[in-house]
């Protein structure tokens, strides 16, 4: 979501928005096919891991090898099937539940760029609450309902194609981005992560074509979700789709909002599946990159997806979180991360790192919280939420890391049970794990 202009000026002055590109939206141009999407989809049939074959794998490897993010990160070895212990399953569940918990926890305070406003409206958020109206910093009324970025409400991608029945809310000032949602309910991007989980279970593997089809069906089905806002990448995708562009070519990029942390939210299910099926961290990273390529035309996000997917896989198999974070931090030019630990969270987020959605600073913020709260996951999510800004998608990305490192049993029961659809999420998590596990292995642990 674009940041209010007054906030952008502040962070531009502080030098925190170094990756904020000039905004130039061309709604009339036709998107070009994505090599990663095309290669992943063309080799998706023929078995659980064929998507990583000659077509997609070679092109992905070429892209990755040219990037410092890839070259800086160490690889783990492929584990034996015997490594699928109860503790590994506990960490897998912890990662996935961490995503949904963090998303729901941050939902009411999403895009509060004034910590003072956040505190006046909610106090210190420690539990799930419903959003309050009006949202003092909402600029949803400036967002286009006909495509990505800013614009008027002349188009009806929002309302007719996706987010059915929500268009009238976009033109009103002060409307909360998650208007009408209940305490503990998940936002749209987290719901798309659930779509990925269900796709893996239904297909019996991670099949990019199946995942893409499931995404299109979910988004275009009236009543499939209760969220009001949809990020630029959703709106651009379905603006293209509505014009008759093939789904494989609908992912787009506005040069401003697409390269954001929202693209990370749907990746933990894929990385978890890869880890539990005995694939290497490198393969888990490639799987994550294949997933993000379905919805985002972004070389930048593919690089972060590879890094993030590797981290999730390594953590599920027992890697040390601080070591993983330090390696990732060096890869993204954040080697001084340890020096931030003694500072207040609001000194770091909003002072040294932008609280906005743009991927460079938002991912560094995720690493900061993961490093500081490596063994205190509950405190980590509370700290993230109360810093405001893009705390929902940033939080979901963080929650999956903290959960993968600490396991399901480290999340408070009030959060696990307090999710609005806790039972359904539990069932979907179990089915993903059952799909990834060898037949009969540790069934009693589920």
- Does residue 164 fall inside a structural domain? no
CA distance 212 to 215: 5
Structural domain harbouring 280: 5-134+183-445
Q: What is the pLDDT of residues 318-365, one digit of tens each?
A: 999 999 999 999 999 999 999 999 999 999 999 999 999 999 999 999
- Does residue 178 fall inside a structural domain? no
pLDDT of residue 306: 99
pLDDT of residue 37: 52
Cα 368–chain centre separation: 17
Tell me: is residue 187 an annotated ligand-binding position: yes
CA distance 293 to 379: 33
pLDDT of residue 84: 57
Instruction: State the Cα angle at 159 between 156 and 164, rounded to 5°.
Output: 155
Q: What is the DSSP string of 358-393?
A: BHHHHHHHHHHHHHHTTT-HHHHHHHHHTT-BSHHH
Q: How many residues comprise the chain?
A: 446
- Does residue 175 fall inside a structural domain? no
- Does residue 143 fall inside a structural domain? no
- Does residue 95 fall inside a structural domain? yes
CA distance 356 to 374: 23
pLDDT of residue 57: 32
pLDDT of residue 185: 99
Phi, psi of 185 (to 5 degrees): -85, 150
- Does residue 54 fall inside a structural domain? yes
Low-confidence ranges of the chain (pLDDT < 70): 1-84, 438-446
Taking the CA atoms of the chain, what radius of gyration do you get in angstroms? 20
The CATH code of the domain that includes 365 is 1.10.4080.10
pLDDT of residue 85: 85
Q: What is the model's pTM?
A: 0.84
pLDDT of residue 407: 98
Total structural domains within the chain: 1
- Among positive and negative, which fits the CA dihedral 198, 445, 441, 407? positive
* Nearest of 64, 53, 82, 78 to residue 280 by alpha carbon: 78
């Amino acid at each position: 979501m674009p940041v209010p202009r007054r906030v952008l000026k502040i962070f531009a002055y502080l030098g925190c928005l170094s990756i904020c590109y000039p905004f130039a939206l061309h709604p009339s141009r036709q998107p070009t096919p994505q090599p990663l999407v095309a290669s992943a989809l063309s080799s998706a049939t023929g078995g659980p891991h064929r998507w990583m074959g000659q077509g997609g794998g070679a092109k992905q490897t070429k892209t990755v090898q040219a990037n410092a993010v890839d070259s800086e990160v160490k690889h783990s070895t492929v584990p034996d099937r015997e490594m699928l212990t109860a503790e590994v399953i506990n960490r897998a569940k912890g990662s996935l539940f961490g995503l949904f918990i963090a998303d729901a926890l941050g939902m009411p305070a999403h895009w509060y760029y004034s910590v003072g406003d956040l505190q006046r409206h909610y106090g210190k958020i420690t539990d799930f609450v419903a959003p309050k109206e009006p949202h003092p910093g909402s600029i949803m009324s400036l967002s286009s309902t006909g495509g990505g970025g800013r614009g008027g409400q002349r188009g009806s991608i929002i309302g007719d194609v996706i987010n059915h029945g929500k268009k009238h809310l976009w033109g009103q000032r002060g409307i909360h981005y998650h208007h009408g949602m209940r305490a503990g309910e998940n936002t749209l991007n987290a719901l798309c992560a659930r779509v990925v989980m269900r796709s893996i279970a239904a297909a019996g593997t991670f099949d990019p074509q199946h995942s893409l089809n499931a995404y299109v069906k979910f988004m275009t089905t009236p009543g499939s979700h209760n969220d009001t806002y949809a990020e630029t990448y959703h709106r651009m995708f379905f603006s293209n789709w509505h014009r008759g562009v093939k789904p494989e070519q609908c992912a787009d990029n506005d040069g401003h909002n697409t390269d954001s942390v929202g693209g990370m939210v749907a990746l933990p299910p894929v990385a978890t599946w890869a880890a539990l099926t005995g694939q290497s961290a490198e393969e888990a990273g490639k799987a994550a990159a294949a997933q993000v390529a379905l919805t985002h035309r972004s070389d930048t996000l593919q690089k972060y997806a590879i890094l993030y997917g590797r981290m999730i896989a390594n953590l599920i198999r027992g890697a040390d979180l601080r070591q993983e974070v330090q390696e990732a931090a060096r890869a993204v030019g954040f080697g001084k991360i340890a020096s931030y630990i003694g500072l207040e969270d609001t000194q770091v987020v909003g002072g040294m790192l932008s609280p906005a959605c743009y991927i460079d600073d938002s991912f560094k913020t995720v690493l900061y919280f993961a490093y500081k709260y490596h063994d205190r996951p509950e405190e980590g999510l509370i700290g993230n939420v109360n810093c405001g800004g893009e705390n929902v998608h940033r939080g979901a990305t963080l929650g999956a890391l903290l959960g993968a490192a600490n396991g399901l049993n480290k999340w408070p029961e009030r959060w696990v049970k307090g999710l609005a659809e806790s039972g359904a999420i539990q069932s979907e998590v179990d089915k993903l794990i059952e799909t990834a596990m060898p037949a009969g292995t540790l069934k009693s642990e589920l």
